[in-house]
Amino acid sequence: MTQQPISLLLCALGGEGGGVLTEWLVEAARLAGYPVQATSIPGVAQRTGATTYYLEVFPVPLSELGQQRPVLGLYPVPGRLDGLVSSELLETVRQISLGHASAERTLVLSSSARALTTHEKMQLADGRRDEQQLMQMIASQSQVHHVLDMAELTRQAGTVVSAVMLGCIAASGLLPIAREAYRTILADGSSAAQASLRGFDLGFTAIEQQRAQARYLDGVLRPEPQLAEPAVFPAPFAPLFPPELHALIALGYERLVDYQSPLYAKQYMERLYEVHRAERESDPRLEHGWAITREMARWLALWMAFDDIVRVADLKSRASRMQRVRGEVKAGSSDLLKLYDHFKPGVPEFAALLPGLLARPLLAWDNRRKAKGKRALALPLKIGAHTITGMLALRGLAALKALRPKGSRFATEQALIDEWLTAVIRLTNLHWQSGHEVAQCGRLVKGYGSTNERGKENLLHVVRHLSVALHFTDHAQRAQAIAAARQAALADDSGKTLDHTLQQLGVPARPIKEQPIRWVRRKAAAREIA
């Protein structure tokens, strides 16, 4: 007898009902009269791999086997898998990379939904995997594949993803079991069973539709996300910038009007125009499609609209925010919402709003305290945005907007922005690529408190050392060095990679910071052995 069993590997994350799915499949196979066997291997999804369930069904009914019984396997044999079903895209690819799937015989049913891994989430910038790569891997390592958003179908049906997965398996025709047999297993009359059946049907229909038309193409050809409601470009500046950049620049302009005033936004336009003029001279034949101006339009606007307590209070006290939160926490129309915000402004945050004359001694005092190893002073606040006093406090803080330009932080930020801007313009004039690289360094500046300080420090280190260093043989080498430093700055938040890279590039590492050392006394007498 040469008949082989049909082998099926299921992967699910914790709480997704992989075990239940396996039981359903075993029951359905039994009901249809086929020999079946299932095993499971626990895993830690998104860390070391999903929990997997392995199932073999012998496609000859027991009634035809007589006294004979098949011997079924306990573990998938690489390359001899008939079906791979997974509720998460990366887990699918992980199983494929273990060599389980083969282009000759494996049918892959995978969800396109992603549950991001910790490693992807903890990056300083954007560490998410490119989904197209994952898709291509599935396409090349499977005989047939269906990728669909099972998480969305699950939400629609109000069930658990296992039901949708069962529907997909049923529709794929992998197992010699009729649709009704699966439905019989699911139905027990309870409300949970109703939801499971809904999920099953959605999964079933989705796969049938995909079989009818190759949906995969849609995914590949998905249009680029459009900018939200296009902002109106301020007319007086229209002739200064190329029309293709108007949408982005208008966003920056609007952001700064909203952040401070039309006057401040006008300053943004003037700064940006200087960059644009430099780029026009550096790239007269427009070979790069205004890439520097584009980058600067983005990063300049974001840096000029630096986040301070005034801005945060403003954003947090808007009516649109209340609406958004209601949606996010799924509060019904008759439910009440209490909304608390935690703030912890420290001395630097208060000093930021004071004029330089007052702020400097205050900051010096705070630094002396920290140098002595004392904890930084901070004022923990819990503000209820749904209460009248809370909202008054937020609006009061937001109203300090008028004082912002007089504060010490504003002055510092403007000086640093100008320093960066000058470097971008100078390098753009010298060599387009170098200018482009320094412009992109704007990405390093973000966050609050120490995160923000660190970003600015890294950026300025590039500006003050790499952009003026004399030892580079040509401009291209400098551009590469700046790009390398920018990547390194985003590698870890302690800056070890950056310092290492800087030294390799032949410029000094960032200065070592003073840090208080604590001594703990240990009495020798107490360590005698009794």
Q: Which of residues 243-302 bind another protein (CB under 8 A)?
A: 248, 251-252, 255, 298, 301-302
Residue 303 binds another protein (CB under 8 A): no
**Three-state SS for 85?**
strand
What is the distance in angstroms between the CA of the first residue and the CA of the last residue of the chain? 75
Binding part of the chain for another protein, among 56-64, 142-150, 323-331, 431-439 by CB under 8 A, reads 323-331
For residues 63-92, which are near another protein according to CB under 8 A?
none
Q: How far is the CB of 31 from another protein (least distance, A)?
A: 30
CB-CB contact of 208 with 179 (8 Å): no
Nearer to another protein by C-beta: 30 or 510? 510
State how far the alpha carbon of 375 is from the alpha carbons of 360, 370, 521, in Å.
Answer: 20, 6, 20
Per-residue buried b or exposed e for 85-109, using 16+ beta carbons within 10 Å of the residue's own CB: bbbbbbbbbbbbeeebbbeeebbbb
| Pairing of β 144-148 and β 107-111 | parallel
Cβ closest to another protein, residue 393 vs residue 423: 393
Residue from 318, 360, 368, 471 binding another protein (CB under 8 A) = 318
Q: Which of 66, 189, 223, 225 binds another protein (CB under 8 A)?
A: 225
Of 141-149, 277-285, 310-318, 427-435, the segment contacting another protein by CB under 8 A is 310-318
Tokens of 454: 């660190």
Beta strands in 435-506 (DSSP E): none
Per the listing, tokens 């010298």 go with: 430
Q: Segment contacting another protein (CB under 8 A): 74-82, 208-216, 419-427, 516-524?
A: 516-524
Written as six digits, the tokens of 75 are 């573990």
Among the listed residues 443, 456, 461, 478, the single contact to another protein using CB under 8 A:
443
Of 218, 184, 189, nearest to 200 by C-alpha is: 184
Site string for another protein, 128-167 (x = CB under 8 A): x---------------------------------------
Q: How far is the CB of 328 from another protein (least distance, A)?
A: 5
Tell the smallest beta-carbon distance from residue 448 to another protein (Å). Answer: 4
CA 241/CA 222 separation, integer angstroms: 30
324 binds another protein (CB under 8 A): yes
Cα–Cα distance measured from residue 500 to residue 488, given in angstroms and rounded to the nearest whole number: 9
| Structure token pair of residue 27 | 């029951």
Nearer to another protein, 193 or 430 (CB): 193
Q: Burial letters for 268-301: b for 16+ Cβ neighbours within 10 Å, e otherwise? A: bbebbeebbebbeebbeeeeeebbbbbbbbbbbb
Long-range contacts of 96-102 (CB under 8 A, 24+ apart): 96/137, 96/138, 96/141, 96/142, 97/137, 100/9, 100/76, 101/141, 101/142, 102/78, 102/141, 102/143
Beta carbon nearer to another protein, 285 or 330: 330
Count residues near another protein (CB under 8 A).
Answer: 83
> What is the dihedral angle through the alpha carbons of 454, 491, 510, 508, rounded to the nearest 10 degrees?
-150
Among 156, 209, 450, 503, binds another protein (CB under 8 A): 450
Footprint of another protein on 31-70 (CB under 8 A): 44, 46-47
Positions 468 through 507 that interact with another protein (CB under 8 A): 493
Among 93, 96, 312, 347, binds another protein (CB under 8 A): 312
Bridge partner residues of 147 (DSSP): 110
By C-beta, is 68 or 487 nearer to another protein?
A: 487
Nearer to another protein, 42 or 66 (CB): 42
Q: Show contacts with another protein in window 332-371 (CB under 8 A).
A: 332, 335-344, 346
Report how far residue 391's alpha carbon sits from residue 204's, in angstroms, rounded to the nearest whole number: 50
Report the residue number, 283 or 295, with the smaller CB distance to another protein. 295
- Residue labelled with tokens 């996300």: 225
Question: Could you say which residues in the range 94-123 bind another protein, by CB under 8 A?
Answer: 115-116, 118-123
- Of the pair 128, 360, the CB lying nearest another protein is at 128
Task: For another protein, give the closer residue by CB, 36 or 438.
Answer: 438
41, 192, 195, 325: which one binds another protein (CB under 8 A): 325
Give the Å distances, CA to CA, from 241 to 16, 226, 272, 302.
52, 21, 9, 19
Question: What's the one-letter identity of residue 19?
Answer: G
Q: How far is the CB of 324 from another protein (least distance, A)?
A: 8
Question: Is 513 near another protein (CB under 8 A)?
Answer: no
